[in-house]
A and B are shown apart, each in its own frame.
Chain A
Amino acid sequence: MSDIPDRVRKIVVEHLGVEEDKVTESASFIDDLGADSLDTVELVMAFEEEFGIEIPDDAAETIQTFGDAVKFIKEAS
């Protein structure tokens, strides 16, 4: 459980090609980390696989920031 933020950060860094220190709690994937809308779909796919969870489309739309992702995954796994 405690390693969830690190694992999420690793996926974001790899996928979006951003510096690790840019991936802060409030960092928005689209506004701060340069993702486009399709990147966010792919991030959600990657989270689902990494954590063995299913993220429904309506929930996926609420995951806008790194903090949102960590929070959702903590609750779901």
Chain B
Amino acid sequence: MSNPNHGPDAYLREEMLPEMPPPPRETGMVKWLHENLFSGPVNAGLTVLGLLIVWFLFDHFYPWFAHSVWNASSLPECRKIIAETWGEGAGGACFAVIRERWNQYIYGFYPPGLYWRPTLVFGLLFVALAPILFSISRNIRRIVLLTAAIVTVLSLVALNTPPIWLGVAVAIFAVALLVAERRQMWLLGFSAFYPLLGVWLIWGGSFWWIIMILAGMGFGSLAFIIAGRLSPLLAGSSAIVVTLLVWVFLSGDAAKDAENLYSLAIARVDSEAIGGFLLAITIGVAGITMSLPLGIVLALARRSDMFLVSSLAVIFIEFIRGVPLITLLFVAQLLLNYFLPPGTSFDIVLRVIIMVTLFAAAYMAEVIRGGLAALPTGQYEAADALGLDYWKAQRLIVLPQALKISIPGIVSTFIGMFKDTTLVAFVGLYEPLKNISDAVRANIEWKGIYWEPFIFVGAIFFIICFSMSRYSMYLERRLQRDNR
């Protein structure tokens, strides 16, 4: 091979080397321990210290959990049982309060005979979400729907649901399960109708209201189609105007007349009666579903070339972000009444939902703007060069990618918003953490109980927030499109 013509360093490979496995090294548990926990004296010391802290915490709290009492009708009774079983002076949790008062933590002061209504709404939430959140995997969709169906129907039976409604629930779940197998997009129709159904079932009243609201939307879309022949801008605005006009001037009277003619009413429940996790989840779900589209619109507006549009978006976002949520809630509670025409009563839960939505939307807009900014300009240029107009480019090219990039931030905002629902305590609503616990403690039997309710409420919040976090990780994995 050492050909003098090629100089002393010339070299020619005559055979390509085959692929070889990496050299065998120590593997398994011992290697992992060595590398991660005991790689040096400092590391080993920290490991021992960490173990000691964990042991200390465990040692401190375990007896409290181990001695917990689930069957008692008051705190003194709990203490008596603990003292009798574990000796005088032993500490122990009194989770009996949860067993006794779980209904208040879940439903607030909702009439106990009607507990089935919010329960049904919660169960149907999964049907409404299935085609949106679990559209990619039929298997997961099936598991979610089946679990929701079984748990909901069993709960409804336990809550003495009227047979007709039990039948309705079973029918909806059965149809949803079937439709989800083949034509899941049809479920989106249910998702669109779900908010109205949920509001009606939780607050009660006449179903004619719901029909009239739908009628208003119907007239609105009619206007959209007719005006759409002239110009797209006119179509959008006339649809909104017509819908509002129908709602304001026609729907109320029409609903009353129809109700007198043929009653479709169920028992009304006041907003003040709604509390506990029913309240937190209602505000949370409504806020989440409305703040995402609003946030998208705000983010697009902020990046708009039109000066007026972008400055309005900037002013709105910066104002809302610059003010504590509590301030907005106080505005909702007190000031809004000054601005509204006298005599209009405007439901406090609705006002709070609007404020929480606006608050979350401002944060959402900034998170999504980050995603939009992360897209290379080439994507916009390619969309332009193919002749896609602004809205099509946003919908088909820009937003799918920007939202995917923003998933962690969006879900963080959702989680933050959901936890912030506890702040409605300050406007006197019975959220689970403070006001429900106060109400429970107001009873002499449970005076002085603090830790157990906090742990219970905290655990439920954790389960919900952690689920959202896991879902976002699942979604990120599923949307992974390159082999990096």
A binds B: no
A interface residues with partner B (beta carbon < 8 Å): none
B interface residues with partner A (beta carbon < 8 Å): none
